[in-house]
């Protein structure tokens, strides 16, 4: 899959952080959460198309989208299942479910949205021909259980597809290797399951899924402003300095170097997204 180049900045407020997705209902700026998802859907459209293709949907199929957010992938799914199909979106945020209803209740699509947990899906066994989750398992308390739930509600022969980032795959070009390692390790530790991407293949096999496929999506940022805005790097570095995990001088020098590289057009940061698919073949 082609490298995704991040735009210079996201159309959200400067105070926004992706950490808000751990509790959208408690977030002060929910509109920025919606705007971030819109921007992400546009930037990663090719990846989302590929992940939906891996579901192997056909007209008339029923598909479950866990962690559906405000329904960004609904149009992609609707094109596959058609007017006779069924799309169910489930999210742990009541604000996201409400926004999804606002956007799609009068769309004419065969879609319904429900509030619920990925750890206890409110559906009978084998209810769907396919099930998916995108950037959800990194935030749940028990990702293996959530994956087993996705498999449980999928029919025999049906497909399960999960897309996740891997914060441990983050890289940024800096001459200060020691500080870079400390910052990136702290960044990956901020999510409950920061290394979930690399774990997915083994988790799929452990859940009894077969024909497991893995696609990697490289992500490139050449804008320090965008990278910092997406991950809250300056706030993280400030916290590390306050905790004496970094000296104030090292923290300041590290950030100044990245800003200088950005001003000269030489800033580079990369990461990976994992798209993993499997077939349910048994209990």
* Interval 109-120: pLDDT, tens: 999 999 999 999
Domains of the chain, by residue range, sit at 4-275
Least confident residue range of 21-25, 40-44, 81-85: 21-25
List the structure tokens of 126: 């084998």
**Residues 275 and 214: beta-carbon distance below 8 Å:** yes
pTM above 0.95, yes or no: no
- CA–CA gap between residue 223 and residue 98 (Å, rounded): 34
Helix 248-263 / helix 224-231 crossing angle, nearest 10 deg: 130
**CA dist., res. 234 & res. 258, Å (int):** 11
278, two tokens: 């499997």
Q: Which CATH number fits domain 4-275: 3.40.50.150, 3.40.50.300, 3.40.190.10, 3.40.1080.10?
A: 3.40.50.150
The DSSP 8-state label assigned to residue 6 in this structure reads P
Query: Looking at residue 31, what is its pLDDT?
Result: 87
d(CA 63, CA 129): 6
3-state secondary structure of 164: strand
Measure the CA–CA gap between 164 and 159, rounded to whole angstroms.
Answer: 17
Query: Quick one: pLDDT at residue 191?
Result: 86
Predicted confidence (pLDDT) at residue 12 exceeds the cutoff of 80: no
């Amino acid at each position: 899959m082609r490298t995704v180049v991040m735009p210079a900045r996201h159309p959200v407020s400067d105070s926004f952080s992706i950490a808000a997705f751990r509790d959208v209902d408690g977030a002060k700026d929910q509109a920025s959460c919606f705007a971030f998802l819109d921007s992400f859907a546009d930037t990663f459209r090719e990846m989302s198309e590929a992940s939906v293709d891996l579901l192997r949907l056909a007209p008339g199929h029923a598909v479950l989208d866990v962690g559906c957010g405000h329904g960004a992938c609904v149009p992609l799914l609707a094109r596959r299942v058609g007017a006779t199909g069924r799309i169910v979106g489930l999210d742990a945020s009541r604000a996201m479910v409400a926004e999804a209803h606002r956007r799609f209740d009068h769309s004419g699509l065969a879609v319904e949205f429900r509030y619920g947990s990925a750890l206890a899906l409110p559906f009978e066994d084998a209810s769907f021909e396919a099930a998916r989750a995108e950037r959800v398992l990194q935030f749940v308390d028990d990702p293996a259980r959530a994956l087993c739930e996705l498999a449980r509600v999928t029919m025999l022969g049906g497909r399960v597809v999960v897309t996740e980032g891997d914060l441990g795959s983050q890289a940024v070009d800096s001459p200060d290797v020691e500080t870079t390692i400390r910052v990136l390790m702290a960044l990956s530790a901020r999510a409950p399951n920061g290394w979930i991407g690399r774990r997915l293949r083994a988790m799929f096999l452990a859940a009894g899924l077969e024909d497991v496929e893995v696609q990697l999506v490289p992500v490139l940022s050449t804008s320090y402003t965008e990278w910092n805005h997406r991950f809250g790097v300056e706030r993280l570095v400030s916290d590390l300095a306050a905790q004496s995990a970094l000296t104030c001088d090292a923290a300041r020098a590290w950030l100044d170097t990245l800003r200088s590289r950005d001003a000269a057009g030489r800033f580079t940061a990369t990461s990976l997204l994992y798209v993993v698919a499997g077939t349910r073949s048994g209990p």
